[in-house]
């Protein structure tokens, strides 16, 4: 008897599927799995924040966790921007906590529940792109509001020879304009690559078990070890990517505020 061939599409987990159709025929608006998991992430963040904002005299672990995250972001902006950086804490904290929760919840084994298909919203370039565009817009608004056209001096490093100014200006301007794209792409690629790798190893496990030979079973066991290792690495990447996005956002804001 030949084992039935099992096909696994590693990209299927990123498909955006409608859950509730549009109210009117021809309407472009519909409720999708991506929107559902965004709401789930926002709900989890709300519970996390509400549970840690009791302002008890002797803080519990939950309150300490929330205060620790806010202090971490505040310290990051104090270090990278200076005293004026505190006014940007709400946005940097928002992107950090949203990315962190979205990444981690996309790694949770909700798939063991029948009918539940976890979705990592940060694996969608539109989501990461919108956050990057908002961060970039803040930089532009702050830069021109504070410095006017002097903001363009950011693209001419101090001490640049006069003959090199046009070339350096174009290079620095291009580098500046690429920032939102690289900010969004870094997070998107990091999340999608890890999830695809886990799915591919899962395919090896299923194929090896179906084959039933000693070698294939050994490959399945080795693939399981790889999945465990990649999953542990992915959990670390989830936190690192949230930190990198928040850090780069604070550094870009510093450029707008201090023209460094």
- Please give the Cα distance from 45 to 51 (Å, whole number): 10
Tell which residue, 225, 257, 207, has the closest CA to residue 77: 257
What is the pLDDT at residue 2?
43
In a domain, 23, yes or no: no
In a domain, 22, yes or no: no
In a domain, 249, yes or no: yes
What is the pLDDT at residue 3?
44
Domain of 201 in residue numbering reads as 32-258
From start to end of the chain, where are the E strands? 18-20, 31-32
* Dihedral angle sign, alpha carbons of residues 129, 134, 135, 140: positive
In a domain, 21, yes or no: no
What's the number of domains the chain is made of?
A: 1
What is the pLDDT at residue 52?
72
- Please give the Cα distance from 182 to 133 (Å, whole number): 11
- Please give the Cα distance from 41 to 62 (Å, whole number): 18
If one counts every other C-beta atom within 10 angstroms of the C-beta of residue 56, the result is 9
In a domain, 17, yes or no: no
If phi > 0 it is left, if psi is from -120 to 50 it is alpha, else beta; for residue 220 that is alpha
Q: pTM surpassing 0.85?
A: yes
Quick check: 232 and 101 in contact, CB under 8 A?
Answer: no
What are the per-10-residue average pLDDT scores of the chain (260 residues)? 55 76 59 88 91 71 86 93 90 95 87 76 91 94 90 82 85 90 91 86 83 83 87 90 95 87
In a domain, 8, yes or no: no
In a domain, 66, yes or no: yes
In a domain, 6, yes or no: no
């Amino acid at each position: 008897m030949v084992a039935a061939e099992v096909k696994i599409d590693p990209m299927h987990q990123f498909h955006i599927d409608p859950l509730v159709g549009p109210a009117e025929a021809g309407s472009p608006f519909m409720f999708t799995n991506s929107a559902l998991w965004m709401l789930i992430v926002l709900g989890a963040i709300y519970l996390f924040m509400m549970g840690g904002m009791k302002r008890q005299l002797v803080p519990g672990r939950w309150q300490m966790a929330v205060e620790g995250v806010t202090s971490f972001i505040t310290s990051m902006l104090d270090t990278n921007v200076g005293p004026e950086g505190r006014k940007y804490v709400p946005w940097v904290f928002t992107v950090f906590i949203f990315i962190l929760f979205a990444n981690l919840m996309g790694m949770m084994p909700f798939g063991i529940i029948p009918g539940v298909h976890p979705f990592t919203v940060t694996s969608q370039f539109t989501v990461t792109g919108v956050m990057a565009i908002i961060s970039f817009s803040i930089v532009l608004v702050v830069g021109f509001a504070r410095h006017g056209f002097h903001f363009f001096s950011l693209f001419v490093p101090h001490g640049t020879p006069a003959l090199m100014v046009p070339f350096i200006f174009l290079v620095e301007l291009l580098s500046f304009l690429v920032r939102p794209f690289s900010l969004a792409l870094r997070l998107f690629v990091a999340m999608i690559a890890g999830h695809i790798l886990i799915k591919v190893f899962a395919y090896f496990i299923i194929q090896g078990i179906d084959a039933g030979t000693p070698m294939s079973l050994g490959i399945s066991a080795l693939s399981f070890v790889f999945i465990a290792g990649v999953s542990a690495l992915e959990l670390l990447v989830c936190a690192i990517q949230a930190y990198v996005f928040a850090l780069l956002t604070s550094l870009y804001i510093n450029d707008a505020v201090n023209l460094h």
